[in-house]
Amino acid sequence: MLIMQTPALETSYADYANTGTGDDWKAFWNQHSKDLFCWAMGYNAAEKDIRNYRPNHDVFREMLPKGASVLDYIALDCKKMPAFAIVYLKTQNSEDLNQILSLEFNDCFELIVSEV
């Protein structure tokens, strides 16, 4: 099982812990025993100059596995960081994880200024 702690899990766990049941991680994970949690960082396109291209977040979201639930999506400033987004996902299918690993981020960028 791939387990990555995400803000959504922290919130879920905080809600769980505040019910008076304490920090019983075993019970928490028993409730999510078939779930796989992961995150993916949308890196700036290697083949695109970010002075002339911008990320298309809708395209990135469409590339994510259809069977995965988006727990959180954080858009980043690609001009200040080497990435344009971080997405936290939950799935029950390990093939979704393989699809995430094969994403091509060059496809997520669109031209904003004509190339000279």
Q: What is the pLDDT of residues 16-59, one digit of tens each?
A: 445 555 567 788 778 888 899 999 999 998 899 999 999 999 99
Report all structural domains of the chain as residue ranges with CATH numbers, in order of start: 7-22+36-111 (3.90.1170)
DSSP 2-14: -----HHHHHHHH
pTM attached to this predicted model: 0.72
How many other C-beta atoms can be found within 10 angstroms of the C-beta atom of residue 73?
A: 15
- Mean pLDDT throughout 58-66? 96
Contacts of 110-113 spanning 24+ positions with Cβ under 8 A: 110/53, 110/54, 110/56, 110/59, 111/52, 111/53, 112/52, 112/53, 112/54, 113/51, 113/52
Task: Please say whether the beta carbons of 109 and 56 come within 8 A.
Answer: yes
**pLDDT value of residue 6:** 46
